[in-house]
A and B are shown apart, each in its own frame.
Chain A
Amino acid sequence: GQQLNQSPQSMFIQEGEDVSMNCTSSSIFNTWLWYKQDPGEGPVLLIALYKAGELTSNGRLTAQFGITRKDSFLNISASIPSDVGIYFCAGAGSARQLTFGSGTQLTVLP
């Protein structure tokens, strides 16, 4: 079963607000990834983190790879309506498979 604890499970925010979500694991991962999934579609990669302590940005998105290698967070600044969707964290250890969190459902209110 899945090993990642992702929180919050859902968020309702006003357009323009900043958002933060995080993921923790009982295991160490070598890589952390953040994906976004729209209804009826597959996940789309947002940010990949390959080194403990790494802070990476992609436009309004910023993610960090925790120093302990057991956690990561994702921030979205100045949210817009198209940010709506489910955000998943995923970790990769020595194997090539990814372990996903259970997702954060984001709703952006006008």
Chain B
Amino acid sequence: DTGVSQNPRHKITKRGQNVTFRCDPISEHNRLYWYRQTLGQGPEFLTYFQNEAQLEKSRLLSDRFSAERPKGSFSTLEIQRTEQGDSAMYLCASSYGLAYGYTFGSGTRLTVV
């Protein structure tokens, strides 16, 4: 098991472009989470899936953001019409059941220029 894998590690995009990130969780984990982290701050919750169902979404997840987990395995996070304020590290994490100590991936650092 190689842990939680996120791709790409870095993404630079022009304002207004769409970007998509991928997360591959630990294989036996049924819960998957997306967090966003800006410089000097702790991660902030965006959304969470149990299997393929998206069960919770933060107010931070504006309508330009969409997340999917089509078969309960990998997940994608898409940001449409990116803005400079979207520049951040996007972290994915997974867990099995109700375990709080979930495992984070290394993140995708997004820079919007």
Closest to B92 in A: A42
Interface centre among A1, A45, A96, A102 (most CB of B within 10 A): A96
Is B72 interfacial (CB-CB < 8 Å)? no
Are the CB atoms of B101 and A48 closer together than 8 Å?
A: yes
Cα A101 to Cα B37 in complex, Å, equals 11
Tally of chain B residues near chain A (CB < 8 A): 26
Closest to B31 in A: A96
Closest to A50 in B: B100
Partner of B42, one of A2, A40, A48, A92: A2
Are the CB atoms of A42 and B42 closer together than 8 Å?
A: no
Tally of chain A residues near chain B (CB < 8 A): 26
Q: A42-B106, A95-B56, A103-B41 are in contact. Are A33 and B100 (CB under 8 A)?
A: yes
Are the CB atoms of A45 and B103 closer together than 8 Å?
A: yes
Residues of B at the A interface (CB closer than 8 Å) are 4, 31, 33, 35, 40-45, 48, 55-56, 58, 91, 93, 98, 100-107, 109
* Beyond known contacts A96-B55, A101-B42, A102-B40: 8 more, CB 8 A cutoff: A4-B42, A31-B100, A42-B93, A42-B104, A92-B100, A96-B48, A97-B33, A98-B100
